[in-house]
Structure 1
Amino acid sequence: MSSNSTKVFIARLLGLDVFDPLGDRLGRLRDVVVLSRDPSKPAQCVGIVIEVPGKRRVFVPMTRIQAMESRQIICTGLVNLRRFQQRGAETLAAGELFDRKVTFRDGSGNGVVEDIGLERQRSGDWVIAEYFVRRGENATGLRALRRGRGERLLVAWDALVHSPLHEPQAASSFVAANDELKPADFAEALHEMSDKRRLEVATELQDDRLADVLQEMPDDEQVKILSSLDMERAADVLEEMDPDDAADLLAELSLEQQHALLELMEPDGADDVRRLLEYAENTAGSMMTPVPIILPPEATVAEALASVRREELSPALASTVFVCRPPLETPTGRYLGAVHIQALLRCPPPEALGNILDTDLEPVLDLADVSEVARTLATYNLTSMAVVNSDGRLVGAVTVDDVLDHILPEDWRTHDDGPTHTLKEGILDG
């Protein structure tokens, strides 16, 4: 491996694009893997974790890295696309060492790791040479960098007393460090953890965050996490979930557990979930949301636009306003038609919704099979559609993502057929 740089800091590497020697982008660096075999020697960097197209995280050993600098990373282009799995005493530098508490060997106190410096030795190996540490008190004899709260110190690796590197990062630190991850990406990170670690991290999440993450996880993992919570907190998390996702999760539990949790939920939310549980699996009613945007025909375009701006709405649900006679809570009065967001954007704000209804599209019955719903959505290029009962009352709306969840294989969230992405000809390492 050749490189003009002999020292880099990991925090500056995170998010950098990784290229092959021809300049083709392979992916983006997400973490650095280190290994400590001898406490008397600095930990060695054994590879990097990059995220390739398709959100798959793969491992690239350091023997494949040609250059690692603060502005670019270049590897040979031979990347094994099997999903990265942490092994043995391997440690993720950013995921497990950042924010870890450490003790100064000279007895001057404790600190928290904010960054790690890697240095390339004459042999070509990269090792942890320095730690960038924050602490609050004096630091005699060390190069101090003062910035913001606390004292920042750049210290040699042997100036600190370390706990074993493979000791997991505290669950609370992991949650804080990954606060900005999208729910689907956080769910993927949880999926790759051991059962014990997954429960520790899930317990640290706020109820609304845990609800969002649970909705992106396989059914069996959802059940394990929910069952690990006390009943009152489990009910609170269910209330934060979309009613259709909460119903799907409850359907995996025993009838006794279902009844107990529904009794602990707020009455309005519990009633929505109970109605969904009454439908047979793979029907429109079983997969719909019972709380779409519903307005009367007298409502104006301005009111409708204000309704679709609500932050908690998914893009699919925000694409359509359903117009009904009162009452406006499902099951509503007679369903009249829909107004798509494009129509709202084209019409003047004072226009009444009753004047711009799309009445050509027939709603789907709540007992219709998922295949019928999928065909209708595909035929008319819709992202959502109305679901009515036999009396013509709106009972909910089904969205394209609801249908995908039902027609994809049950293990689609975790299914891994190995190296399926071809980044460039010859990229796979046999």
Structure 2
Amino acid sequence: MDVFEPLGERLGRLRDVVVVHRSASRPPQVVGIIVEVLAKKRVFVAMTRVTSIDNGQILITGLVNFRRFQQRGAEMRIAAELFDRKVTLTDGSGVATIEDVSIERQRNGDWYCSQLFVRRGHSTSRLRGLRRGETLTIDWADAWFEDQREPQGAVQFLAAHEDLKDADLADMMHEMNDKRMLEIAAELQDERLADVLQELPDDDQVQILSALETDRAASVLNEMEPDDAADLLSELPEEQKEELLQRMEPDDAEDVRRLLQYEEGTAGSLMTPIPVILPPEATVAEALAHVRREDISPALASAVFVTRPPLETPTGRFLGVVHIQQLLRYPPPEALGNLVDKNLEPVTDHTSIVEVSRTLASYNLNSLPVVNDAGRLVGAVTVDDVLDALLPQDWRSHDDPPAPPTTPSRVPVTGSTRIGGRSA
């Protein structure tokens, strides 16, 4: 649901609801909502500021603190911590799983969790996503919660956030407690988990990978970009690193081993060994077909590297670069050898990050060719790799400058709603 200020300006999007459960005899009280605002930052808005939840939107009033939300001791998040929780039904009919929660405003103005939408006797799979069993709506008092230390599923949580980009899901997982972060990681498919891992801080990456079974951890590493996999493995103990390399696909492991040999802070330690490489006889049409592939990042797709065979790194003699704009300006049958930019000097694999960043900035480039002492292409370093290396390790946790406060107003409060979107 979108969240609006009184004058109709969109503040952001609802991402979760915060509750506090103070007594076993009473349902949790809703104390606020988590809103995703500009720059994907999530902030807390107290329920006293919420004036209306109706017609697919939320209206708020008063001043909003734009400091990044931090969960406190007694607080729980409905989507992150209640969805997929197991409860025992008090009528003796067995165990069910929470898929949705209803909140309702009381006469005194406070909001409380009133009902649960649960699925009884269902089964799920990380690979198939199956759901079976009976669904029913029950009062909060009709369910007894299992021990919070028990494993909690993540199917419903991921379904509710399937539209999130990898970096945004990583940001959410980073803000969770360790138990919940690992549960969500375990539910993700290997390819998605690999993409999310690449967006997490080093400590979270190590914790998640170490919690996986060895074979699955190796499969996830196979799905990662070689430079990101090498960065992650370099943080692990030598014995664990070697075991994972042995379990990886041989070709992937070979790429990673080569990157691990470079000293930290050099172009070789940052580069990807699998850029788009073609011979000079290849045509513009072939080059466009390669950069159009979905698995090529925008930074790597900005240039084609032309070399003599072999075309796998380390290649034959490096000839030059053809930028994507050149590809768009020439007819499809044109040979790449006629378009090579010979003025762009490659960097060596031992060039420092500072020099690499200076070259990228000086020539407004998205990527740079990296060669060894023999003049053979060994990879490419991209601007996003350089930014990751230059930014402080905790840059994901840095708060943005405070945004202007919202304008006070008064709007009538209405009815009740379900967090997951079902009307109550």
Matches within 5 A, 1:168-187: 170-173=152-155, 174-187=157-170
Counterpart of 1:421 (choices 388, 402, 415) is 402
Q: TM-score, normalised by structure 2?
A: 0.85
Q: 2 CA distance for matches of 1:230 and 1:157?
A: 37
Matches within 5 A, 1:97-246: 97-102=82-87, 104-107=89-92, 112-133=97-118, 153-158=136-141, 160-163=142-145, 170-173=152-155, 174-246=157-229
Aligned pair 1:299/2:279, yes or no?
Answer: no
Alignment check: 8 A CA contact 2:309 2:315 kept: yes
The equivalent residue for 2:261 is 278
The equivalent residue for 1:363 is 346
Counterpart of 1:258 (choices 236, 241, 244) is 241
Alignment check: 8 A CA contact 1:50 1:60 kept: yes
Question: Partner of 2:30: helix, strand, or coil?
Answer: strand
Alignment check: 8 A CA contact 2:62 2:406 kept: no
Alignment check: 8 A CA contact 2:190 2:220 kept: yes
Give the stretch that moved more between structures: 292-301 or 100-109: 100-109
Alignment check: 8 A CA contact 1:102 1:161 kept: yes
From the superposition, tell whether residues 115 and 204 of structure 1 become closer, same or farther in structure 2 (CA, over 3 Å).
closer
Q: 2 CA distance for matches of 1:117 and 1:425?
A: 27
Counterpart of 1:288 (choices 266, 271, 274) is 271
From the superposition, tell whether residues 47 and 313 of structure 1 become closer, same or farther in structure 2 (CA, over 3 Å).
same
The equivalent residue for 2:420 is none
Q: TM-score, normalised by structure 1?
A: 0.84
Question: Partner of 1:220: helix, strand, or coil?
Answer: helix
Give ranges in structure 1 of 5+ residues lacking alignment.
1-15, 138-147
Question: Partner of 2:113: helix, strand, or coil?
Answer: strand
The equivalent residue for 2:387 is 404
From the superposition, tell whether residues 168 and 399 of structure 1 become closer, same or farther in structure 2 (CA, over 3 Å).
farther
The equivalent residue for 1:91 is 76
Counterpart residue type for residue 190 of structure 2: D
Give the stretch that moved more between structures: 41-50 or 66-75: 66-75
Identity %: 63
The equivalent residue for 1:6 is none
Q: How far 1:124 sits from its partner (Å)?
A: 0.9
Q: 2 CA distance for matches of 1:31 and 1:118?
A: 12
The equivalent residue for 2:63 is 78
Q: 1 CA distance for matches of 2:26 and 2:262?
A: 63
Question: Partner of 1:46: helix, strand, or coil?
Answer: strand
Question: Partner of 2:299: helix, strand, or coil?
Answer: helix
Q: How far 1:251 sits from its partner (Å)?
A: 1.8
Give the stretch that moved more between structures: 326-335 or 199-208: 199-208
From the superposition, tell whether residues 19 and 408 of structure 1 become closer, same or farther in structure 2 (CA, over 3 Å).
same
Q: 1 CA distance for matches of 2:233 and 2:47?
A: 46
From the superposition, tell whether residues 398 and 113 of structure 1 become closer, same or farther in structure 2 (CA, over 3 Å).
same
Give the stretch that moved more between structures: 371-380 or 288-297: 371-380
Q: How far 1:130 sits from its partner (Å)?
A: 3.2
Q: How far 1:398 sits from its partner (Å)?
A: 0.6
Counterpart residue type for residue 333 of structure 2: P
Question: Partner of 2:145: helix, strand, or coil?
Answer: coil
RMSD: 2.8
Question: Partner of 1:119: helix, strand, or coil?
Answer: strand
From the superposition, tell whether residues 130 and 293 of structure 1 become closer, same or farther in structure 2 (CA, over 3 Å).
same
Structure with higher RCO (Cα < 8 A, 6+ apart): 2
From the superposition, tell whether residues 229 and 119 of structure 1 become closer, same or farther in structure 2 (CA, over 3 Å).
closer
From the superposition, tell whether residues 252 and 154 of structure 1 become closer, same or farther in structure 2 (CA, over 3 Å).
closer
From the superposition, tell whether residues 72 and 426 of structure 1 become closer, same or farther in structure 2 (CA, over 3 Å).
closer
Q: 1 CA distance for matches of 2:240 and 2:38?
A: 41
Question: Partner of 1:413: helix, strand, or coil?
Answer: helix
How many equivalent pairs are there? 399
Question: Partner of 2:395: helix, strand, or coil?
Answer: coil
Alignment check: 8 A CA contact 1:44 1:126 kept: yes
The equivalent residue for 1:59 is 44
